[in-house]
Amino acid sequence: MRQGEACGSQTLLDKRESSLRKNSMEVEALHAVSAQPRNNWTKEEISTIYHAPLLELIFTAAKVHRHWHDPLSVQQCTLLSIKTGGCSEDCAYCPQSARYDTGLKAEKLLDPDAVYAAAMCAKNAGSTRFCMGAAWREARENAQFEQVLEIVRRVKSLDMEVCVTLGMLGADEARRLKEAGVTAYNHNLDTGEEYYDQIITTRTYQDRLDTIQHVRDAGMSVCCGGIVGLGESEKDRIDLLHTLSTMSEHPESVPVNALVRVDGTPLADRPPVEIWEMLRMIATARIVMPRARVRLSAGRLQMNQTEQALCFLAGASSIFTGEKLLTTGNPGYDEDKQMFQLLGLRSLELEENN
Ligand code: SAM
Ligand code: DTB
Ligand code: SF4
């Protein structure tokens, strides 16, 4: 009998070591800590990471997170819907589609002064990024687009990061947005390619990828992520993460939204998203796209602070702050300020980002 086995400690150590060795996800993720970001992930590798024992997954994501980022710094971004409702598209989750009776009143494009005032409030409350959404299928070069460019210039003058999400974009529109001062363009893939047509039929996955390419070519940063809770399988989530993490350059920003179920939309009766699903998605995104800012986006009203703390541990480094997302609710500034104090988090200052 070897020394140590007598009291069982050697056996325990052996067992632990071999279980760690068996856990190929740990090996993959350690690679992510020491090497440059990879864009040759296979679906099998991402699946192994996604399905790892949850606490191992979170622990590894936390290690990756602190290797690449300051884990206490979380960016506050504020959203504003600058053109609400009446949208021609059929995105099954969206309260702004004209096809569903959600009780939302369509409104016209906001004027630059009103948007500037809202952005200033957000800045005073600690936001460093102001994200403006329009319920459009696409941005076209017309008078409304000129108004959006003016809005962008005004918000930019506040020294905030300016993000817009206006639907599909051609190369010319992308260039003009960049010239006006847009930092980042948000255009989500929403889900995996195979499941996509269960959710949206009025534009294709390829349309979305084309827009993302135009954004990249124009020199804007890419904000692209998805939604958990649409009825997709774990395979569909892995497909989405695979598409994002094998882009020639990873998106700089990856929003992970939990479906906000809105009465009148086809997905109103979906079961609520479990925190464990959000954690797996955030942690896997963090590991496979280590440099990206992973954003804990829609759905925080349904989460308590302990659950959100786990999301930050798993690698989320941004939230939307302010009482509204685009059309639905969100925790208020004061509540988030109190959460940051409780967890010892700091609001990102823009200098840290440069
Ligand atoms: N119309 C533009 C577009 O679709 O690209 C911009 C606005 S759209 C509301 C921006 C993103 O918000 C969508 O791609 C989707 O990922 C997210 N979103 C919309 N409704 C949501 C909901 N009910 N729950 C979670 N995320 C939602
Ligand atoms: C993103 O991925 N989530 C935000 C932002 N990008 C534009 C939008 C969430 C919208 C949630 C539903 C609503 O408030 O209308
Ligand atoms: Fe329109 Fe965008 Fe909503 Fe789709 S997600 S219905 S494109 S506003």
Q: What is the pLDDT of residues 120-138, one digit of tens each?
A: 999 999 999 999 999 999 9
Categorize the per-residue pLDDT at 350 as very low, low, confident or very high, splitting at 50, 70 and 90: confident
Closest CA relative to residue 176, chosen from 224, 209, 139: 139
* Chain centroid to CA 158: 24
Give the strand pairing for 316-320 and 346-347: unpaired
Which is more confidently placed, 14 or 5? 14
Ligand 2 pocket, 221 CB below 6 A? no
Categorize the per-residue pLDDT at 36 as very low, low, confident or very high, splitting at 50, 70 and 90: confident
Indicate the DSSP class of residue 159.
T
Q: Are the C-beta atoms of 203 and 241 separated by less than 8 Å? A: no
Mutation test of ligand 3: which of 97, 138, 204, 326 has the most ligand atoms closer than 8 Å to its C-beta? 97
Return the pLDDT at 195: 98
Q: Which of 77, 91, 224, 311 is catalytic?
A: 91
Return the pLDDT at 2: 47
Return the pLDDT at 30: 65
Categorize the per-residue pLDDT at 33 as very low, low, confident or very high, splitting at 50, 70 and 90: confident
**pLDDT surpasses 80 at 188:** yes
Region 69-76: mean pLDDT is: 96
Which is more confidently placed, 214 or 9? 214
Determine the Cα–Cα distance for residues 236 and 307; give it in Å rounded to an integer.
24
Backbone angles phi, psi at 298, to 5 degrees: -65, 150
Q: How far is the CA of 19 from the centre of ligand 2 (A)?
A: 40
Region 235-250: mean pLDDT is: 97
Dihedral angle, C-alpha 229, 231, 234, 239, nearest 10 °: -90
Class of domain 68-347: alpha beta
Mean pLDDT score across all residues of the chain: 93
Q: Which of 77, 131, 224, 311 is catalytic?
A: 131
Backbone angles phi, psi at 103, to 5 degrees: 80, 5
Q: Which residues line ligand 1 (CB under 6 A)?
A: 93-94, 133, 135-136, 165, 167, 187-188, 190, 227, 257, 259-260, 262, 298, 326
Region 51-75: mean pLDDT is: 96
Categorize the per-residue pLDDT at 29 as very low, low, confident or very high, splitting at 50, 70 and 90: low
Q: Which of 77, 223, 224, 311 is catalytic?
A: 223
Is 295 noted as a catalytic residue in this protein? yes
Categorize the per-residue pLDDT at 92 as very low, low, confident or very high, splitting at 50, 70 and 90: very high
Is 224 noted as a catalytic residue in this protein? no
**pLDDT surpasses 70 at 323:** yes
Q: What is the pLDDT of residues 139-173, one digit of tens each?
A: 999 999 999 999 999 999 999 999 999 999 999 99
Helix axes 43-50, 275-288, angle to 10 degrees: 130
Pick the atom of ligand 2 nearest to 255's CA: 2
Categorize the per-residue pLDDT at 77 as very low, low, confident or very high, splitting at 50, 70 and 90: very high
Is 91 noted as a catalytic residue in this protein? yes
**pLDDT surpasses 50 at 336:** yes
Return the pLDDT at 7: 54
Closest CA relative to residue 45, chosen from 238, 186, 229, 208: 238
Record the pTM.
0.94
Region 63-77: mean pLDDT is: 96
Is 163 noted as a catalytic residue in this protein? yes
Pick the atom of ligand 2 nearest to 95's CA: 15
Q: What is the pLDDT of residues 271-295, one digit of tens each?
A: 999 999 999 999 999 999 999 999 9
- Per cent of the chain over pLDDT 90 is 88
Ligand 3 pocket, 89 CB below 6 A? yes
Taking the domains of the chain in order of start, what are their residue ranges? 68-347
